[in-house]
Amino acid sequence: MLGVKKGEVFLVNHMDNWKRLFDKEKILLESIIRDKTKDIQHFGSTAIKGVKAKPIIDILIGVDSLMDVEMFNKEKLKEAGYHHLSRVHIEGKEVFAKFSDLENLTKTHILHVVEYDGNWWNKHILFRDYLNINPSVAKEYESLKT
């Protein structure tokens, strides 16, 4: 099961297929925006081994500058199900979401576009990696989320 409707918050047990779903999505995204990106990484709770998570794949996209988002082929992204959430204002980040159902606004993937090797990038990658090499801390994190 992948996706959460707008207004819903729930966690599910870790699923081994989340990594495969990310890998598949990465290939799709590279085919659309590869020349505008430095790196694409799986992060967030679905990237933490063995912890419960909202069933939404978080994808971190590193760019040289947030101005590069203007050069993304947004029409092709939209054809792939991604919509730029231009009303979401987070300093240093642009956000896109993929919806499996636009009527119920069921999100399956969220793209977090940030400056590669910048503050957002480094914090997200460090947090993911730290939890993956420290399973007891990851379980504490899961308890806080629950």
**What residues of the chain score a pLDDT lower than 70?**
none
Residue 137 main-chain phi, psi, to 5 deg:
-70, -40
Amino acid 103: pLDDT? 84
Amino acid 9: pLDDT? 92
Amino acid 87: pLDDT? 85
pTM of the model: 0.94
CATH of the domain at 66: 3.30.460.10
* Separation between Cα atoms, residue 38 and residue 25, nearest integer Å: 16
Amino acid 144: pLDDT? 94
Domain membership flag for residue 57: yes
Structural domains counted in the chain: 1
Tokens of 137: 């801390």
Domain membership flag for residue 139: yes
